[in-house]
Amino acid sequence: MQDDNGHNNGENRDETPNTTMGADSNIVRFQRRPQRDHNAATPTHDDNAPLINLPPVTKWMIASFVLVQLIMSLGLSPEWRFWVMAHLGFVPAYYTGQFGFGWPMIVGPFTYMLIHGGWLHVGLNSVMMMAFGAGCERVLGAKRMIILFVLCGLAAAAFHMALNWGSDAPVIGASGSISGLFAAIMLILYAQNPGGMGGKYGLWPFILLWIVISVAFGSMGGPGGSSIAWAAHIGGFIAGFAFFPLVMRLKI
C-alpha cells in the first residue's frame, strides 16, 4: 500500500498580518507592522499563552490526521485497514475502468489526504502542517487556506495518476497538499523580500531544488522498500504556485 511519504503499511502502495491582493496583480501586498516604541514599557509575559500558538483550522486538521490514524491503528483489523485504503485512498486504476466505476472514484481524491501509512507519516505531515499551514492560514484566512489545501491535494492526485496510469496501488497522505502550502509560503516570503530570495533567478532555484529532491527520494524509496509517491509531491507543489494568487482573490 503506497503512501505519499514513503510508508508501505504492509502493501504497495510574518510583516504578514493584514494582506491584500491587488485586483490587477499577482503580487501579494503586505502592510508593514508599526515600528515598536523602544521607550515604551516592556510588555509583560503572559504565563497563560500557549506554547504552540497555532490558528484554529491548522490545529483541527492536525487533530484529524491523528484521529484517523488512531482509528486505523486501534479500531480496525488488518482486513478493514486494507479496505479503507483501497476504497478511501486514491487509486488511479479506478479511472481506467479496471474495477468498474463506483463511489471510491468520487470520494477517494478527497479522503486520501486524511489517511496516513503510520505514525511516522502522521508525525512528519503534522510538523509540516504546523510550519506551512499555520503561515498560510494567517495570511489567507481559514476558508481560503482549506480551499488551497484541497485544490493542491486534488492536483497532486491528478499528477500522480498521469505518471502512474492504471496503477492499482492506493496513494494516501496529505503530503501533496502540504507541498502546495509550502509553495504558497515561498510566494509570501518572496513578496516580502523579492531581492533576497534567489537573486536575479527569483524562486526558480528553490523550485528546481524541491523537484530534484522529490524525484531523488522517490527513486530511493522509503523504509522497508516501500515506494514514495513523489509525483504527488511535485503536483501539489506546482499547484500551490498556480492556485495561491487565485485563492488569495476569493471574496470569502
Give the pairing of strands 28-30 and 171-172: unpaired
Predicted local distance difference test score (pLDDT) of residue 36: 45
Q: What is the pLDDT of residues 113-171, one digit of tens each?
A: 999 988 988 999 999 999 999 999 999 999 999 999 999 999 999 999 999 999 999 99
DSSP type of residue 75: I
State the helix-helix crossing angle for 142-163 and 230-248, rounded to 10 degrees.
140
Contact between 249 and 147 (Cβ < 8 Å): no
The domain ranges of the chain are 2-6+54-248
pTM of the predicted protein model: 0.78
Q: How far apart are CA 82 and CA 20, in angstroms?
A: 45
Question: How many other β-carbons are positioned within 10 Å of the β-carbon of residue 245?
Answer: 15
Predicted local distance difference test score (pLDDT) of residue 27: 40
Spans of the chain, pLDDT less than 70: 1-52, 194-199, 218, 220-226
Contact between 226 and 6 (Cβ < 8 Å): yes
Q: Which amino acid is at 22?
A: G
Predicted local distance difference test score (pLDDT) of residue 80: 93
Predicted local distance difference test score (pLDDT) of residue 205: 80
Question: How many other β-carbons are positioned within 10 Å of the β-carbon of residue 23?
Answer: 6
Residue 49 Cα distances to 24, 44, 46, 118, 135, angstroms: 40, 12, 5, 32, 19
Residue labelled with grid coordinates 500522480: 160
Predicted local distance difference test score (pLDDT) of residue 241: 94
The answer as to CATH 3.40.50.300 being correct for domain 2-6+54-248 is no
